[in-house]
Amino acid sequence: MANDKTLNVEVWRGAEDGRFESFEVPARDSQTVLDVVSHIQRHLDETLTYRFACRVGMCGSCAMTVNGRPRWTCRTHVSRVARNGRLTIAPLRNLPVIKDLACDMTPFFDKWQQARAVFDPSTTRDDPVAAITPDSPKRREASAAIECINCAVCYAACDSVTWNPDYLGPAALNRAWTLVNDQRDADQRARRAAIMSDAGCGNCHSHQSCTELCPNELNPTRSIAGLKRLAMKNLFGGEPS
Ligand code: FES
């Protein structure tokens, strides 16, 4: 039974057909959800599997489902999310579960490739460095969406991915939007084909869960809206912007 000194924590164990297991964890000041998971692994069950690396919100590896919502656990304080001293911690939605809290991220990163969300240089290292005007409209669009840490919180939050597992998803399309606006990139034709495909931006229903939950306060819904405008221009023969 949890009290103000302990937390009652339900943790997913096993693969897709697993179950929740209960642990009692000491409550601490300024405790993060990752602290709770680490306490369980170090003191209660060393077989618990989970991922983390930086602990400071940089690497994106620690995302899990906490009381029903995807979160970066190293920057999520227990005091913000616990309900009556209770936490339920599960792997991210929309990805295969490997074991316990660790998902297989392969489909997530495969979709970055499918979306052509990878910089394709138009010059070589021997060419002069491209002059980029930081406050040009295109550069401002790219810069506003660039700070993604690949945590997959938006991907797990997206109902459109749940409904259509082929959908490229908010992270890959957000990155594609930064490259659409990058004048140095040479792969715009293939990228436009990807974002206009059956798996592309037309799947987004603008629910905005990605924007609500992005730990870096990015707005993938806005980026995808930009891609939709670009797709419409292409569809009706307008010059791509
Ligand atoms: Fe790196 Fe959380 S451990 S972002």
CATH code, 186: 1.10.1060.10
* CA pair distance 220, 34, nearest whole angstrom: 25
Query: How many angstroms is it from 34 CA to the middle of ligand 1?
Result: 9
Residue 186 reports pLDDT greater than 60: yes
Tell me: do 82 and 52 sit in the same domain: yes
In a domain, 51, yes or no: yes
Residue after which a domain boundary falls, among 77, 103, 129: 103
Domain membership flag for residue 46? yes
Mean pLDDT value across residues 96-110: 98
Among protein residues, the one whose CA lies closest to atom 3 of ligand 1:
55
Q: What is the pLDDT of residue 236?
A: 85
Mean pLDDT of the chain: 95
Query: How far apart are the CA of 159 and the centre of ligand 1, in A?
Result: 24
Task: Taking residues 12-31, report their average pLDDT.
Answer: 97
d(CA 7, CA 25): 5
Last residue of a domain, one of 103, 128, 158: 103
pLDDT digits (tens, 9 = 90+) for 203-223: 999 999 999 999 999 999 999
| 149 C-alpha to ligand 1 centroid (Å) | 9
In this structure, are 123 and 193 located in the same domain?
yes
Q: Does the beta carbon of 186 sit less than 6 angstroms from any atom of ligand 1?
A: no
Q: What ligand 1 atom has the least distance to the C-alpha of 57?
A: 4
Residues for the chain: how many in total?
Answer: 241
**pLDDT for the residue numbered 132:** 87
CB of residue 59 inside a 6 A radius of ligand 1: yes
pLDDT single digits (tens) 46-63 = 999 999 999 999 999 999
Together in a domain, 76 and 140 = no
Does some domain include residue 213? yes
Q: Each residue of 127-163: pLDDT tens digit? A: 998 888 999 999 999 999 999 999 999 999 999 999 9
CATH (domain of 86): 3.10.20.30
Cβ 52 under 6 angstroms from ligand 1:
yes
**Residue 204 · residue 228 · CB < 8 Å:** yes
Same domain for 154 and 134? yes
Q: State the pLDDT at residue 237.
A: 78
Instruction: Classify residue 1: in a domain, yes or no.
Output: no
Phi, psi of 8 (to 5 degrees): -95, 115
Q: Containing domain of residue 61, as a range?
A: 6-103
**Distance (Å) from CA 80 to ligand 1 centroid:** 18
Please report the pLDDT score of residue 241 as a whole number: 46
**197 CA distance to ligand 1 centroid (A)?**
33
- Whether ligand 1 lies within 6 angstroms of the CB of 62 is answered as yes
* 91: Cβ contacts below 8 Å, ≥ 6 apart: 12, 64, 65, 97, 100, 101, 102, 103
Ligand 1 pocket, residue 108 CB under 6 Å: no
The answer to whether position 13 is within a domain reads yes
At residue 33, the pLDDT reads: 98
Query: Same domain, yes or no, for 26 and 13?
Result: yes
Confidence (pLDDT) at 235: 84
Distance in angstroms (rounded) separating the CA atoms of residues 149 and 81: 22
Same domain as 125, residue 18: no
Ligand 1 proximity of 15 Cβ (cutoff 6 Å): no
Question: What is the pTM (predicted TM-score) of this model?
Answer: 0.93
Query: Do residue 126 and residue 185 come from a single domain?
Result: yes
Whole-number pLDDT of residue 239: 54
Q: Is residue 186 part of a domain?
A: yes
Same structural domain, 120 and 216: yes
Q: Give the pLDDT score at 187.
A: 87
Q: How many domains does the chain have?
A: 2
pLDDT at 2 over 60: no
55 and 77 part of one domain: yes
Same domain? For 89 and 19 the reply is: yes
Domain identity same for 128 and 208 = yes
Per cent of the chain over pLDDT 90 is 91
Q: What confidence score (pLDDT) does residue 3 get?
A: 56
The answer on 208 and 136 residing in a single domain is yes
Name the domain boundary from 103, 122, 149. 103
Contacts of 77 (CB under 8 A, 6+ apart): 30, 31, 32, 33
